[in-house]
Homo-oligomer: A and B are copies of this chain.
Amino acid sequence: MHSFSEILDQLNAFGKEQSFPKAPAELYEPCDYILSLGGKRLRPALALMAAELVGGDPGLALHPAWAVELFHNFSLIHDDIMDAAPLRRGQPTVHMRWDLTTGILSGDVMLIYAYQHLAQTPKQEVLPQLLEVFNRVAIGVCEGQQLDINFEKRAEVSLEEYLYMIELKTAVLLGGALEMGALAAGSTAQDAALLYDFGRLAGIAFQIQDDLLDTYGDPGTFGKQVGGDILQNKKTFLVLKTLEIASETDASALRQLLNPATQQEPESKIAAVRSLFDKYQVPALVQTEKARFEQKAFEALAAVSAPDSRKEVLRSMVAELLHRQK
């Protein structure tokens, strides 16, 4: 078995060889740029780990893994336009560094290149299955982005709706990366589906943890500003849980605090919202909810018909991510 860092090395070596054409430069330079911003390459790494877990050569999953990475970066370019985000990993977003047209068109061509990589999967007999998973997951991600946009405009969002949104927007792609990596290496459909569930459920747990860390992370180690979600009035899991269980009065107070029209000092706003979360012990409730998804995730992993020794790299990597403090 390869370690996580060996998997990443293999992936990065492969990625360096997968260059876009040189011309038209206006179309392809932004594709190279977004990839160069240095994401964690978590999704393609999952695909390679799944391939090895089911007993295959991780190299069999390289092209599908890269397809997932290109899809992820396509979605970042287009999401940044929709969110009017100026920065991505501390650097200008594509539509800011170039322009709107460049962002749209470079994103489009990157999505097509994702399919081109998928089509290069070494075991061509599994291409129909890979395409089925890729399309299903890609449609899910678009639907999740739409729900996220809808929810920002809506006054009321239920916790159930929120969970469904984050499942589509972020978790299904993690599951899909694992499922495709397994299928590309010759896995049974059943094991591939269990790995999909593992990734999907762990992905929901990740997102819940993200919400928690954004408000309760250690300012010394957390990469972003603690309280950022509160300042952006985001309807996070913490907010929605509080609204669900708080008294009428406290719920109104929270809504007022998160109303963009309310004038308030950033630090006092963060403190006031946190004290409402704390009053209802929401952090502990959210931890419990996260643990529920985490447990279901590892149950799915346990059910995959492979020896425990082959699951260890993936299990420990995901466990570490789910218990990070930043």
Among the listed B81, B108, B109, B131, which residue makes an inter-chain contact with A115, where contact means beta carbons less than 8 Å apart?
A: B131
Residue in B closest to A149 when the chains form the complex, CB atoms:
B101
Contact residues in B for A124 (Cβ distance below 8 Å):
128
A116–B78 CA distance with the chains assembled, in angstroms: 21
What range describes how many residues of A lie at the interface? 35 or more
B105 near A142 with CB under 8 A, answer yes
A315–B124 CA distance with the chains assembled, in angstroms: 36
Known contacts A27-B142, A105-B149, A115-B115; can you find 16 more A-B pairs with CB under 8 A?
A24-B147, A26-B149, A27-B146, A78-B108, A81-B101, A82-B101, A100-B100, A104-B104, A105-B142, A108-B108, A108-B111, A109-B143, A111-B111, A112-B139, A112-B142, A127-B131
A174–B134 CA distance with the chains assembled, in angstroms: 26
Contact residues in B for A139 (Cβ distance below 8 Å):
109, 112-113, 116
Shortest distance from the beta carbon of A195 to any chain B beta carbon, whole Å: 21
B104 near A116 with CB under 8 A, answer no
A145–B104 CA distance with the chains assembled, in angstroms: 11
Contact residues in B for A138 (Cβ distance below 8 Å):
112
Residue in B closest to A112 when the chains form the complex, CB atoms:
B138
Shortest distance from the beta carbon of A171 to any chain B beta carbon, whole Å: 17
Interface residues of A in 114-141 (CB under 8 A from B): 115-116, 119, 124, 127-128, 131-132, 134-135, 138-139
Contact residues in B for A115 (Cβ distance below 8 Å):
115, 131, 134-135
A123–B215 CA distance with the chains assembled, in angstroms: 53
B127 near A128 with CB under 8 A, answer yes
A24–B127 CA distance with the chains assembled, in angstroms: 29
Shortest distance from the beta carbon of A91 to any chain B beta carbon, whole Å: 21
Interface residues of A in 265-282 (CB under 8 A from B): none
A135 near B150 with CB under 8 A, answer no
Contact residues in B for A127 (Cβ distance below 8 Å):
127-128, 131
Residue in B closest to A136 when the chains form the complex, CB atoms:
B116
Shortest distance from the beta carbon of A33 to any chain B beta carbon, whole Å: 15
- Decide: A146 near B105, CB < 8 A? Known: A124-B128, A128-B124: yes
